[in-house]
C-alpha cells in the first residue's frame, strides 16, 4: 500500500467535507468551505497518481472551482455516467453541474486566486426543496434518480432524467438525515439520521421497508455526517456511527431479514463514513495454488472522528489496514476509484490523502460480467433497475425506419439549414464567427456606442445588455435559439440590422428574404418607398387590403379593372401582373399601377376597384350593419359591391372559370318600375337577366351568382343564368352578401346571418342573430367571409373572429387578435422546413399578420420556459380546433404537423400518444366504434403516416414510432 | 444560488482625469430568463469617515435579461466635487458597483480608487483647496473586492429572513457585509502591496 497526501489539494486550509472520484478516474471533486461561500473544486487525478505529472508545470492540478454555493458544501457526487456532478450544501440547495465545452479558461471574478479554470463546469439545475442544510446526495444506479438528504429530516428523490422534477419526499426521520446510500440493485435506498435510526426505503413505492434503531440507541448526535454504504453485491449495508457495548462501531446490516449481528469495531470515536469498494474481489490465485474457487468478498473503508482510517475485507476478521493520525481532524468522506485499487480520503482539517493498494493486497477484482452474474444469482433476472431505459444517447435504435429518420435528421443538421424555415438558422454560423476571436473585441470596443439605452416611463436609464453567448447546457430559454446577439427592445429582426456589424446585417437581411412568412413590406422598405412616391394615394388603401388579407398568396393572379374597361384590357393587365399580391414589392408594377390610376381618373370618379380571388371570398365593409348607400366612391370591394345610383358596375367574381358580373341599374322603365340588368360573362359566354328593382349588392362564385335588390329581395342564379331559387324575402336590407362554391351567405342590417346550400336547397344557418357575439358597446363587424365549405366567418372590430358552427348551432371563437397566447406562443422551431405556410385559408385570413408578430415577439419575451411551453401548446391546440371548425383541411393539416412537431420537441408523450391513437383509430372494425376514418376529407391514417417521420426525430419516442408504424403497415396490408 | 453571476468587470478609461465619467464594462451570466430588470448602481465613497458623503453616481436598469451571457458598459458621471470633503479629495477611496434584483442587493464589487495629482509639483505641495482639474483618478482594476449576498430570486415568496439580506450600509466598510463572520473575508485594511502609494 502506498500513501500520499497531495498538499496542493486544499481549499486554502478550509475544511473539505466531501470528495468523490470521477467514474473515469481522471479527476475528482472536493466540496467544502470557500472564502465566503461554499466551494466545489475539481482536480486532476494524474498528478495524484504519478509523481512526474505532479512536477510537470504544464499539467494542471486544479481544473475548476465553483463558488456558487452560498454556504459550505457538504457533499459532492459524480453521476454514474460521469456527465454530471451533484453538490449539496448548507445553503439548502442541490446543484447539478455539467461540463460546458465551448468556453475557454476563466477565473472566478473577484477571487483572490489567479488560477484559471481549465475546465468549465456550469450549474445546469438547482434543486430547491430542502428547508435545511443538505448533508448528502446520492445518484441511483443508472442515474435514474438523485437523492438528497437534509437536516430538515427529509430525503428528496429527484427525477434525474427531468430535473428539477421531484419524484417524492421521504418523511419519517425525526432527526437530521446525514447519510444516504442506494442499493446497487436499485431496490432500496437507505438513510441514517441523528434520530438514532437507519431506515431502508423501497424504490417501488417509496415506502419504509425497515427501521433499524437498536444499534444506534446509545449514539449521541455528535458526528457531522453519517455516510453509510451498501456493499457492491447488495448483501450488506454498513452504517456509520453505531454503538455496541458503549464502543463506537460500524453496524453491518444483512439484506436478508435486516439482521444486525455483525459490526466493525475498533475505532475509538464515532464512525463518520463507510465506503464500500465498488469491486467485488476474489482471492488472488497464487502460482501453483489450488484452483479451488474461493468465495468472492468485498472491501470496505471506514473513517472515523478519531482521525483514523481502517480498510476491511469481508473475508477477513481483522482489518486489512488501519492508519492512525492520518489527519488532524475528523475524516469526512471517502471515495474509491472505479478500479477499486485507489482511495481518496478527506478531512475536516482541509487535507486529502490518497491510498494506493495493489492486487496482491486486495485480491483479483471481478469484472463487470462476473459481478452481474453474482447479482443475477442472488436476485434473479428481476433487477428492478433494468426496467428503466439507459441514457438516451446510448439507446439502441431498434427500428430500421427509426434509424432512417435519425440519419436524415443528422444529415439535415450537417447541411446546416434546410430551405425556408431555416433562414434564421443559417445566420448563426456567421454570427458565431463574429462572436469569436477578434470580432468579439470589435464588439467590445464599440459596446458603449452600440448598446441600446432607453428611458423608462419614470425617466430612468435602461440598458439592454448585449447577449454574447447562449447557455449550451440547459434548455432554459427558447429565446436563445441561435447565438445571435439579441438586442431586445426592437421587436423585429430587421430593426436589429443597423445595430449589428455590417456582415451580420447582411446575413439578417438575406435570411429574412428567404423566409416565406415575412411579408414583403418588411423586407424591402426602399421598394415600398418608391411605390409610394409614384402612386401615392391610390396605393395606400390597396396596401391596407393587401397586408390585411394576403400575406402571401399562392400565385393567384389578381387583376383590377374598371367598369368601362373592356375585357381585353383586363387580360393585358393580367399578363403584366403575374402575382397581384406581391406587386407591392415589384418595381416594374409601378407602371401598371399608374396606368390604372389614369384609367380610374378617366372614369369620372366612379371608382369601383375590383379584385378577384379564386379562393375564399373576402370583403371589407366600411360600415357594417347599417347599410351604407355611398353615392360615388365605393372603396375596394372584393367581389362584393354596393351601389344604388351607379349606372354600371363590373366585377370579376371568379378566376377558374373566369366569371365577370356586370350590373346596370335603371336600364329601362316599364310601367313605372325601373328595371335593372344583371349581365354575366362566364368563359366568354354571356347571359343576362332583368330584375324588377335596383341591385344593391351582388356576389358570385363559380357555381352561383347572388344578387340583393333594394326591395330586400335576394335572387340566386346558377352560373349559366338559371334562377335557382325563387326570390328570398329578407327582413332587413342586405349588409353583406357572399357566395362560395354553392353556398350563399347573407348578412343583413338587422344583424342576422343566413347561409343556404343552394345545391341541396337547405339552410345551413337560419337567420342567426349576431347579438351573441357582438356584446359590448361599439363592436362592429369589420370583416365577413364564407369559406368554400360554407362556413360563415365574422370578424369584429374588437379583433375577435367567430364562425358559426352549424352542427353545434353555436358561435365559436376562431381568432382573437388580442389573445396573449398568440403573442407568447413560440413554435418557430416547429415550423415545417419546406412547406410554405398556409396563409390563404380562412383561419390565416382572420388571424392575419398578427401571427407573425407574435412569433417574433416571443423571441424577446422573458416568459419562463415552462410557461411559454404551456402557452404555445394552448395556442396550437386553439389553432387546430379553429381549423377544424372552419372545415379548413389544409390549415388543419398544417397546424397538426406543427402541433405534432412541438409535442415531439417538448417530449409530451401523453398528448402525442392520444393524437396518434385518434388518428389510427381502431385496428379492427367493430360496429360499436364511432371512429370516422377521415377528418375534413383528409384520411386520418394518411395524416398519421405524415406524422411518423416527425415522431421519428426524437429517439425518445422510438417505441411510439415503432408501435404506430407497425400498426399502419398492418392496416395497409389488410 | 444566485441566478446572475458576474464574470468580469473591465475598468475602461483608466487611469483618467478626475472629471471623466466612470466606465465599467460588465460581463455577467444569467442562468434563467429574468422576468424583471437588474438594477446596477455606482456609488462613490466621498469619505472613508462617514457614509453621508457617499454619492450614488448613477443607477441604471439592465434588461431584459434572457438566460445566457451578456455584457454592457455602465457609464456614470464623475462625482460631484462639491459633495466631497476637501480633506478627502486626494488619496485613496472606494468606488462600489452594486447590483440589485427585486430590490435586493446580491453583489457588491468594490474598487480602490487613488486620486492624485499628476504634476510632481502639486503632489509635493498640494493646494489647500483641491484642484480637481489636475487630479488623476486611478482605479485599482486588478483587485476588485467582490461580496455576494444571498437573496430571494423568486419574486412571489416573501423575502428571505437571512440577516445576509440586509443591504450593507454603502460605506467604505460596506464592502464587507455586516453579517460576515470575521475572518472569512480579508480585512479591508490589508492593502495589497502593489496598490498605489497611500498618503
The pLDDT tens digits of the residues spanning A5-27 come to: 998 999 888 999 999 999 988 89
Considering only CB atoms, A471 lies closest to which of B23, B37, B68, namely B68
Query: Are residues A842 and A809 in contact, defined by beta-carbon separation less than 8 angstroms?
Result: no
Are A753 and A737 in contact by the 8 Å Cβ rule? The answer is: no
CB A350 within 8 A of CB A32: yes
How many angstroms away from the CA of A127 is the closest CA of chain B? 10
| pLDDT exceeds cutoff 80 at A76 | yes
Is A226 a residue whose pLDDT tops 90?
A: yes
Contacts of B41 in chain A (CB under 8 A): none
**From CA A94, how far away is CA A967, in angstroms rounded?**
45
Distance from B197 to chain A by nearest Cα, in Å? 21
Query: What residues in chain A have their Cβ under 8 A from chain B's Cβ atoms?
Result: 35-37, 68-70, 91, 93, 95, 106, 109-112, 123, 126, 444, 447-448, 451, 456, 460-471, 474, 476-477, 479-480, 486, 488, 860, 862-865
Distance, in Å, from the CA atom of A636 to the CA atom of A56, rounded to the nearest integer, reads 83
- What does the pLDDT read at residue B109? 92
What are φ and ψ of residue A792, in 5° steps? -80, 135
Residue B29 lies in a domain: yes
pLDDT in tens, B63-98: 888 888 888 999 999 999 888 888 888 888 899 999
Q: Please name each of the domains of chain A with its CATH number.
A: 2-284+293-368 (2.130.10.10), 648-800 (2.130.10.10), 820-971 (no CATH)
Residue B80 within any structural domain of the chain: yes
Contacts of A862 in chain B (CB under 8 A): 33-35, 63-66
How far B102 CA sits from the closest chain A CA (Å)?
15
Q: Which residue of B has its CA nearest to A127?
A: B1
pLDDT the model gives residue A774: 77
Q: Total domain count for chain B?
A: 1
pLDDT given for residue A641 in this prediction: 41
Residue-level pLDDT at A86: 95
Strand boundaries in chain B, DSSP class E:
4-12, 16-17, 22-30, 38-45, 54-62, 68-76, 91-101, 104-117, 135-139, 145-148
In the sheet with A236-244, reading across from the earlier edge strand, the strands are A229-230, A236-244, A247-254, A262-265
Q: What is the rounded CA–CA span in Å between residue A891 and residue B187? A: 69
Taking the C-alpha atoms of residue A861 and residue B66, their distance in angstroms, rounded to an integer, is 8
- pLDDT above 90 covers a percentage of chain A that reads 19
Residue of A nearest to B110 (CA): A110
Query: Is 80 exceeded by the pLDDT of residue A499?
Result: no
pLDDT greater at residue A477 or residue A74: A74
Question: Which of A112-116, A151-155, A281-285 reaches the highest mean pLDDT?
Answer: A151-155
Given B1, B67, B150, which is nearest A476 (Cβ)?
B67
Q: Which of A445-449, A798-802, B109-113 has the lowest mean pLDDT?
A: A445-449
Quote ipTM for the complex. 0.75
3-state SS, one letter per residue, for B12-33: ECCCEECCCCEEEEEEEEECCC
Higher local confidence (pLDDT), A114 or A216: A216
User: What is the residue-averaged pLDDT of chain A?
Assistant: 72
**Does residue B48 sit within a domain?**
yes
pLDDT digits (tens, 9 = 90+) for A723-775: 888 888 888 888 888 888 888 888 888 888 888 888 888 888 888 888 888 77
pLDDT of residue A653: 58
Q: Return the SS3 of A843.
A: helix
Q: Which residues in chain A are closer than 8 Å to B191, comparing Cβ atoms?
A: none
Residue A647 has pLDDT above 60, yes or no: no
pLDDT-above-90 percentage for chain B: 31
Domain hosting B40: range is: 4-148
- A149, A192 contact by CB (below 8 A): no
Q: How confident is the model at residue A863 (pLDDT cuts 50, 70, 90)?
A: low
User: Does residue B56 register a pLDDT over 70?
Assistant: yes
- When pLDDT is averaged across residues A590-601 and rounded to a whole number, the result is 36
Q: Say which residues have a Cβ less than 8 Å from residue A74's Cβ, sequence separation at least 6.
A: A17, A18, A31, A88, A89, A90, A133, A134, A135, A136, A225
Work out the pLDDT band at A346, boundaries 50, 70, 90: very high
Residue B25 domain flag? yes
**A497 pLDDT higher than 70:** no
- Average pLDDT (A560-571) is 36
**Residue B124 belongs to a domain:** yes
Among A631-645, A758-772, B4-18, B165-179, top mean pLDDT goes to B4-18
Nearest residue to A571 via CA among A592, A541, A590: A592
pLDDT at A818: 67
Q: Assess if residue B165 is contained within a domain.
A: no
How confident is the model over A266-271, as a mean pLDDT?
90
Q: What is the pTM of this model?
A: 0.47
Please write the tens of the pLDDT for every residue from A936-963.
778 888 888 888 888 887 777 877 888 8
In contact, A906 and A951? CB cutoff 8 Å:
no
- Which residues does chain B have within 8 Å of residue A468's beta carbon, measured at their own beta carbons? 27, 68-71
Q: How confident is the model at residue A317 (pLDDT cuts 50, 70, 90)?
A: confident
Assess whether pLDDT exceeds 50 at residue A690: yes
Q: Which residues of chain A does B61 touch, with a Cβ-Cβ cutoff of 8 Å?
A: 456, 460-463
Considering only CB atoms, B33 lies closest to which of A95, A469, A476, namely: A476
Q: pLDDT tens, A414-456?
A: 654 444 333 333 333 333 434 444 456 677 777 777 788 888 8
A-chain residues within 8 Å CB-CB of B102? Answer: none
pLDDT bin (cut points 50, 70, 90) of residue A703 is confident
The pLDDT of residue A170 is: 93
Q: How far apart are CA A850 and CA A854, in angstroms?
A: 6
Which residues 114-143 in chain B show a CB within 8 A of chain A? none
Give the C-alpha separation, A968 to A962, whole Å: 10
Is residue A123 within a helix (H) or strand (E), and if so which, with residue range? strand A120-128
Q: How confident is the model at residue A132 (pLDDT cuts 50, 70, 90)?
A: very high
Q: A562 or A800: whose pLDDT is higher?
A: A800
Using CB atoms, which residue from B61, B68, B72 is nearest to A480? B68
pLDDT tops 90 at residue A721: no
Residue A868 has pLDDT above 50, yes or no: yes
Helix/strand number for chain B, H first, E second: 1, 10
Q: Which is more confidently placed, A902 or A596?
A: A902
CATH number at residue B128: 2.60.40.1490
Nearest CA in chain A to B61: A462
| Beta-carbon separation of B63 and A462 below 8 A | yes
Of the two residues A549 and A191, the one the predictor is more confident about is: A191
Going by the DSSP 8-state scheme, the letter that residue A754 receives in this structure is: E
Q: Find the residue in A nearest to B36 (Cα).
A: A862
CB contact (8 A) between residue B67 and residue A68? no
Distances in whole angstroms, Cα of residue A3 to Cα of each of A31, A353, A356, A458, B46:
22, 7, 6, 67, 56
Highest mean pLDDT of the ranges A271-280, A558-567, A844-853: A271-280
If you average pLDDT over residues A47-72, what whole number do you get?
86
Q: Which of A169-173, A458-462, A664-668, A781-785 has the highest mean pLDDT?
A: A169-173
Of B31, B75, B146, the CB nearest to A109: B146
How many residues are there in chain A?
Answer: 974
From the list B32, B59, B61, the residue facing A476 with the nearest CB is: B32
Rounded CA-CA distance B41/B58 in Å is 6
Q: Does residue A355 carry a pLDDT above 90?
A: yes
Find residues 51-110 of chain B whose CB sits inside 8 Å of chain A. 58-75, 109
A32 beta partners = A16, A39
pLDDT in tens, B120-148: 888 888 888 888 899 999 999 888 888 88
A651/A342: higher pLDDT: A342
What pLDDT was estimated at residue A209? Answer: 92
* Chain B residues close to A110, C-beta within 8 Å: 6, 109, 144-146
pLDDT in tens, A840-857: 677 777 776 555 544 444
Pick the most confident of A219-228, A338-347, A434-443, B178-187.
A338-347
Contact: A447, B72; criterion CB under 8 Å? yes
pLDDT of A688 reads: 80
Are A65 and A40 in contact by the 8 Å Cβ rule? The answer is yes
Residue A865's pLDDT is what? 67
pLDDT value at residue B164: 43
The CA distance from A95 to the nearest CA of chain B, in Å, is 8
* Position B10 in a domain: yes
> Per-residue pLDDT for A195 more than 80?
yes
pLDDT at A91 > cutoff 70:
yes
Contact by Cβ (8 Å): B164, B177: yes
Among the partner-chain residues B7, B61, B146, the one whose CB lies closest to the CB of A106 is B7
More confident call, B36 vs A409: B36
* pLDDT for position A890: 83
With cut-offs at 50, 70 and 90, classify the pLDDT of residue B40.
very high
> Is B191's Cβ below 8 Å from some Cβ in A?
no
In a domain, B160, yes or no: no
Residue-level pLDDT at A569: 39
Tell me the shortest Cα–Cα distance from A864 to chain B, in angstroms. Answer: 6
pLDDT in tens, A890-907: 888 888 888 888 888 877
Confidence at residue A864, expressed as pLDDT on a 0 to 100 scale: 63
Interchain contact, B31 vs A477, CB within 8 Å: no
CB–CB of A119/A99 below 8 Å? yes
Q: Is B165 on the interface with A (CB under 8 A)?
A: no
CB contact under 8 Å between B73 and A36, yes or no, is no
Q: Which of B1, B23, B64 sits opposite A69 (nearest CB)?
A: B1
Which range, of A408-422, A926-940, B25-39, averages the lowest pLDDT?
A: A408-422
pLDDT tens for each residue of A360-381? 888 888 887 788 788 777 776 5
* Band (A286; pLDDT cuts 50, 70, 90): low
Give dist(CA A293, CA A10) in Å, integer: 44
Amino acid at each position: 500500500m502506498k500513501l500520499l497526501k497531495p498538499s496542493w489539494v486544499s481549499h486554502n486550509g478550509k475544511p473539505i467535507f466531501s470528495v468523490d472520484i470521477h467514474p473515469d478516474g481522471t479527476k475528482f471533486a472536493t466540496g467544502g468551505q470557500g472564502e465566503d461561500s461554499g466551494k466545489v473544486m475539481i482536480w486532476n487525478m494524474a498528478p495524484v497518481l504519478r509523481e512526474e505529472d505532479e512536477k510537470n508545470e504544464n499539467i494542471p492540478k486544479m481544473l475548476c472551482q465553483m463558488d456558487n454555493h452560498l454556504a459550505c458544501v457538504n457533499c459532492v457526487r459524480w453521476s454514474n455516467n460521469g456527465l454530471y456532478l451533484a453538490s449539496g450544501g448548507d445553503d439548502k440547495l442541490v446543484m447539478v453541474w455539467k461540463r460546458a465545452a465551448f468556453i475557454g479558461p476563466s477565473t472566478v471574478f473577484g477571487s483572490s486566486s489567479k488560477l484559471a479554470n481549465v475546465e468549465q463546469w456550469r450549474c445546469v439545475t438547482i434543486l430547491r426543496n430542502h428547508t435545511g442544510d443538505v448533508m448528502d446526495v446520492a445518484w441511483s444506479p443508472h442515474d435514474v434518480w438523485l437523492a438528497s438528504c437534509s437536516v430538515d429530516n427529509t430525503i428528496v428523490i429527484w427525477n434525474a432524467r427531468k430535473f428539477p422534477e421531484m419524484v417524492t419526499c421521504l418523511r419519517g426521520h425525526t432527526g437530521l438525515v446525514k447519510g444516504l446510500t442506494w442499493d446497487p440493485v436499485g431496490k432500496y435506498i437507505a438513510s441514517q439520521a441523528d434520530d438514532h435510526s437507519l431506515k431502508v426505503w423501497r424504490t417501488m413505492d417509496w415506502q419504509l421497508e425497515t427501521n433499524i434503531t437498536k444499534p444506534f440507541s446509545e449514539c449521541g448526535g455528535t458526528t457531522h455526517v453519517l455516510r453509510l454504504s451498501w456493499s457492491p453485491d447488495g448483501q450488506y449495508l454498513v452504517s456509520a456511527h453505531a454503538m455496541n457495548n458503549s464502543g463506537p462501531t460500524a453496524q453491518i446490516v444483512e439484506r436478508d431479514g435486516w439482521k444486525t449481528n455483525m459490526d466493525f469495531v475498533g475505532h475509538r470515536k464515532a464512525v463518520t463514513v463507510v465506503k464500500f469498494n465498488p469491486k467485488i474481489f476474489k482471492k488472488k490465485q497464487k502460482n501453483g495454488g489450488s484452483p479451488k474457487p474461493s468465495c468472492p468478498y468485498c472491501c470496505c473503508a471506514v473513517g472515523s472522528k478519531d482521525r483514523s482510517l481502517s480498510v476491511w475485507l469481508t473475508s477477513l476478521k481483522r482489518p486489512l489496514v488501519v492508519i492512525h493520525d492520518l489527519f488532524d481532524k475528523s475524516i469526512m468522506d471517502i471515495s474509491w476509484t472505479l478500479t477499486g485499487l485507489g482511495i481518496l480520503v478527506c478531512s475536516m482539517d482541509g487535507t486529502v490523502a490518497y491510498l494506493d493498494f495493489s492486487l496482491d493486497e486486495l485480491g483479483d477484482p471481478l469484472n463487470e460480467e462476473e459481478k452481474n452474474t453474482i447479482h443475477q444469482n442472488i436476485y434473479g433476472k428481476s433487477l428492478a433497475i433494468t426496467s428503466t431505459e439507459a441514457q438516451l444517447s446510448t439507446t439502441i435504435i431498434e427500428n430500421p425506419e427509426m434509424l432512417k429518420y435519425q440519419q436524415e435528421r443528422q444529415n439535415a443538421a450537417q447541411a446546416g439549414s434546410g430551405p425556408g424555415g431555416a433562414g434564421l438558422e443559417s445566420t448563426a454560423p456567421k454570427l458565431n464567427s463574429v462572436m469569436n476571436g477578434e470580432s468579439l473585441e470589435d464588439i467590445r470596443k464599440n459596446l458603449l456606442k452600440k448598446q441600446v439605452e432607453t428611458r423608462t416611463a419614470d425617466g430612468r436609464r435602461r440598458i439592454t445588455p448585449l447577449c454574447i453567448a447562449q447557455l449550451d447546457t440547459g434548455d432554459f430559454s427558447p429565446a436563445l435559439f441561435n447565438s445571435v446577439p439579441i438586442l431586445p427592445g426592437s421587436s423585429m429582426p430587421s430593426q436589429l440590422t443597423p445595430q449589428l456589424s455590417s456582415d451580420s446585417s447582411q446575413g439578417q437581411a438575406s435570411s429574412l428574404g428567404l423566409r416565406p412568412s415575412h411579408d414583403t413590406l418588411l423586407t424591402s422598405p426602399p421598394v415600398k418607398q418608391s411605390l409610394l412616391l409614384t402612386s401615392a394615394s391610390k396605393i395606400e388603401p390597396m396596401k391596407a387590403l393587401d397586408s390585411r388579407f394576403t400575406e402571401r398568396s399562392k400565385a393567384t393572379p389578381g387583376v383590377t379593372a374598371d367598369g368601362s374597361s373592356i375585357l381585353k384590357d383586363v387580360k393585358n393587365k393580367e399578363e403584366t401582373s403575374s402575382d397581384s399580391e406581391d406587386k407591392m414589392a415589384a418595381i416594374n408594377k409601378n407602371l401598371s399601377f399608374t396606368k390604372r390610376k389614369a384609367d380610374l381618373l378617366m372614369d369620372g370618379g366612379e371608382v369601383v376597384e375590383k379584385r378577384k380571388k379564386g379562393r375564399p371570398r373576402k370583403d371589407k365593409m366600411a360600415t357594417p350593419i347599417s347599410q351604407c348607400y355611398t353615392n360615388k366612391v365605393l372603396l375596394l370591394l372584393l367581389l362584393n359591391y354596393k351601389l344604388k345610383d351607379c349606372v354600371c358596375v363590373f366585377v370579376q367574381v371568379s378566376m377558374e372559370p373566369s366569371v365577370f358580373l356586370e350590373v346596370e341599374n335603371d336600364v329601362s322603365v316599364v310601367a313605372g318600375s325601373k328595371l335593372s340588368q344583371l349581365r354575366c360573362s362566364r368563359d366568354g359566354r354571356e347571359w343576362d337577366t332583368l330584375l324588377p328593382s335596383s341591385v344593391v349588392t351582388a356576389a358570385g362564385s363559380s357555381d352561383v351568382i347572388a344578387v340583393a335588390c333594394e326591395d330586400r329581395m335576394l335572387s340566386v342564379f346558377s352560373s349559366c343564368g338559371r334562377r335557382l331559387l325563387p326570390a328570398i324575402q329578407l327582413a332587413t336590407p342586405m349588409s353583406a352578401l357572399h357566395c362560395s362554391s354553392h353556398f350563399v351567405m347573407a348578412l343583413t342590417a338587422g344583424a342576422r346571418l343566413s347561409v343556404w346550400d343552394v345545391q341541396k336547397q337547405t339552410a345551413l344557418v337560419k337567420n342567426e342573430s349576431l347579438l351573441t357575439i357582438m356584446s359590448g358597446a361599439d363592436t362592429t363587424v369589420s370583416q365577413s367571409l364564407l369559406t368554400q365549405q360554407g362556413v360563415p366567418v365574422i370578424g369584429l372590430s374588437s379583433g375577435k373572429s367567430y364562425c358559426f358552427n352549424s352542427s353545434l348551432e353555436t358561435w365559436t371563437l376562431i381568432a382573437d387578435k388580442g389573445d396573449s397566447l398568440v403573442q407568447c406562443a413560440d413554435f418557430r422551431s416547429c415550423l415545417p422546413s419546406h412547406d410554405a405556410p398556409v396563409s390563404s385559408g380562412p383561419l390565416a385570413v382572420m388571424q392575419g399578420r398578427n401571427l407573425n408578430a407574435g412569433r417574433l415577439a416571443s423571441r424577446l419575451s422573458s416568459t419562463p420556459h415552462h410557461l411559454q411551453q404551456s402557452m404555445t401548446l394552448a395556442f396550437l391546440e386553439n389553432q387546430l380546433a379553429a381549423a377544424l371548425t372552419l372545415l379548413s383541411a389544409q390549415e388543419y393539416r398544417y397546424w397538426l404537423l406543427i402541433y405534432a412537431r412541438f409535442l415531439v420537441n417538448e417530449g409530451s408523450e401523453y398528448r402525442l400518444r392520444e393524437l396518434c391513437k385518434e388518428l389510427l383509430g381502431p385496428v379492427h372494425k367493430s360496429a360499436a366504434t364511432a371512429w370516422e376514418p377521415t377528418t375534413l376529407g383528409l384520411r386520418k391514417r394518411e395524416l398519421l403516416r405524415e406524422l411518423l417521420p416527425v415522431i421519428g426525430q426524437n429517439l425518445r419516442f422510438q417505441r411510439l414510432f415503432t408501435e404506430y408504424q407497425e400498426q399502419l403497415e398492418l392496416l395497409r396490408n389488410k | 444560488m444566485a441566478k446572475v453571476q458576474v464574470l468580469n468587470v473591465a475598468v475602461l478609461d483608466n487611469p483618467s482625469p478626475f472629471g471623466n465619467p466612470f466606465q465599467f464594462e460588465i460581463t455577467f451570466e444569467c442562468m434563467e430568463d429574468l422576468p424583471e430588470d437588474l438594477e446596477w448602481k455606482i456609488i462613490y465613497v466621498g469619505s472613508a469617515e462617514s457614509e453621508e458623503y457617499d454619492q450614488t453616481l448613477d443607477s441604471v436598469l439592465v434588461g431584459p435579461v434572457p438566460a445566457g451571457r451578456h455584457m454592457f458598459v455602465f457609464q456614470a458621471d464623475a462625482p460631484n466635487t462639491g459633495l466631497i470633503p476637501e480633506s478627502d479629495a486626494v488619496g485613496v477611496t472606494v468606488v462600489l458597483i452594486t447590483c440589485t434584483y427585486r430590490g435586493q442587493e446580491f453583489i457588491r464589487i468594490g474598487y480602490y480608487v487613488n486620486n492624485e495629482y499628476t504634476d510632481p509639483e502639486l503632489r509635493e505641495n498640494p493646494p489647500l483647496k483641491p484642484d480637481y482639474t489636475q487630479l488623476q483618478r486611478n482605479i485599482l482594476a486588478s483587485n476588485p473586492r467582490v461580496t455576494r449576498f444571498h437573496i430571494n430570486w423568486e419574486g412571489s415568496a416573501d423575502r428571505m429572513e437571512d440577516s445576509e439580506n440586509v443591504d450593507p450600509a454603502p460605506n467604505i466598510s460596506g464592502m464587507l457585509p455586516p453579517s460576515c463572520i470575521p475572518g472569512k473575508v480579508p480585512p479591508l485594511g490589508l492593502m495589497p502591496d502593489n496598490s498605489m502609494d497611500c498618503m
